[in-house]
Every structure is written in structure tokens, then in C-alpha cells.
Structure 1
């Protein structure tokens, strides 16, 4: 169980890092801004589903091994639902309305949330690895 929880959390951590610092940056460097925005917008719902599924799966396997880690992963999953269902539509609405100030604030919040998720997954990895 511990090994599966560790691998699941590592998948969560790696996937979030790859998306946040690899995929999104690549899309904006490879495509013009007017094309990159819609691609990212279409990709984000899938990203959030990945984070949700990986956090839940890792949390289920972490529960019998390390309850605090399971609770952290549950918090990641719960906040991901809010990000996907509330924050992401608000960011998109601000973009569609041309409200740059609101977009910057909401996008900044989504970036901070993703960084918090990455940090939380890193902490869980260290706990499960016995560091």
C-alpha cells in the first residue's frame, strides 16, 4: 500500500509540475497568443480531472499507511473540485469580458493554488518515503 501511495503521489507531483512549468509554457512559446489561450482553456479541465483522480487514488492508498498524508491529498482533491468548478469558470468569464484586472487576480489565485498543490504533494512524498 505504501509503495502505491508513494507512486501515485509522485505521479500527481510530476504531472502538475510538467503541466505548470512545461506544457503551459511550451504552448505559449510555440503558438501565437490568440491561439495559445484557447488551447490552454481546453486543456485545463483535463488537468484538473487528472489532479483530482491522482489525489484521490493516492489518498486512498495512503489512508492505511499515513493518515495525515491522506488528509493532505483529500484537501488537494477538494480544492481541485473548487478550482475546476468555480475558479476556472470565473477566470474564463473575466477573459471573455475583457476584464484584465479580474483575470490577473483570479489567474494569480489559480497559480498559487497549483503551487500549493505541488508543495503539498512534495510534502506527502517526503512523508511516505520516510524522509
Structure 2
């Protein structure tokens, strides 16, 4: 039973991050004016990062007794999301507010790399269930 719950949490983490990263913003940009998209994304990202932190940490805790390697990968996702949410995201917002386009591009690029790394790590953990 614990393995099934762990599998579902990792699947939720992988699917949630993938949908958010590749679907949510694209749909917003297709459906709304750019200013509204920026405001919506700014409001949504803290919740997204909280989802990643909680889901990855819960998965890590549940997997600790079953597969420590996978638990450590999920723990890494949870822990590395904290500074992304608390420091990187506010820095991205500040760069936008200050019109510092070069800084925005660099910081946003870093946040994309972090998210892609998290998706890849969660995919590895998910594949280890096979």
C-alpha cells in the first residue's frame, strides 16, 4: 500500500510539474492579454512551488524505507525548490518591475533549468518503479 501511495505522489509531482511548465503558461498566453498573463503567473507561481515542495517532501518521506536513492532525489527536489520560491522568484519579479530585461532573461532561464531538472529527477524516480 505504501508503494502505491508513493507511486501516485511521484506521478502527481511529475505530471503536475510537466503540465504547469509546458501547458499552463502556453494556454494563458493564448487566451489572455500579456499584462494579465504576467499578473496571473506572478500569483500562481508561489502556489506551484509550494505544491512541488509539499509533494516531493511527502514522497521522500514515504519512500525512505523503500528506496533511499529515490527518497533522496525527491528530497533534493523539495529542498532546492525552497530557495527557488523564496529567492529566485522574487528576484525575477524585481527584474521585471525594474525593466532589467537582461537580468530577467538570465534569472528566468535559471528557473527554467531548475524546473527541467526537477521534472527529469521525478521522471527518474517514476521510472524506478518499473
Q: TM-score normalized by structure 1?
A: 0.96
Secondary structure of 1:98's aligned partner? coil
What per-residue deviation string (whole Å, max 9, x for no partner) do you get for residues 64-120 of structure 1? 100000000010001100100010000000000000000000000000100000000
Structure 1 residue aligned with 2:77: 76
Matching of residues 1-131 of structure 1 within 5 Å: 1-127=2-128, 129-130=129-130
Q: By how many angstroms is 1:47 displaced?
A: 0.2
Instruction: Work out the CA distance in 2 between the residues paired with 1:64 and 1:72.
Output: 14
What per-residue deviation string (whole Å, max 9, x for no partner) do you get for residues 27-64 of structure 1? 11111111110100000000000001110111111101
Instruction: Work out the CA distance in 2 between the residues paired with 1:67 and 1:106.
Output: 32
Q: By how many angstroms is 1:2 displaced?
A: 1.6
Alignment RMSD = 0.7
Query: Moved runs in structure 1, 4+ residues, more than 6 A?
Result: none
Instruction: Work out the CA distance in 2 between the residues paired with 1:9 and 1:60.
Output: 12
Instruction: Work out the CA distance in 2 between the residues paired with 1:28 and 1:59.
Output: 34
Instruction: Work out the CA distance in 1 between the residues paired with 2:84 and 2:118.
Output: 11
Q: Structure 2: which 5+ runs fail to align?
A: none
22-31 or 104-113: bigger deviation: 22-31
The alignment of Structure 1 onto Structure 2 pairs a total of residues equal to 129
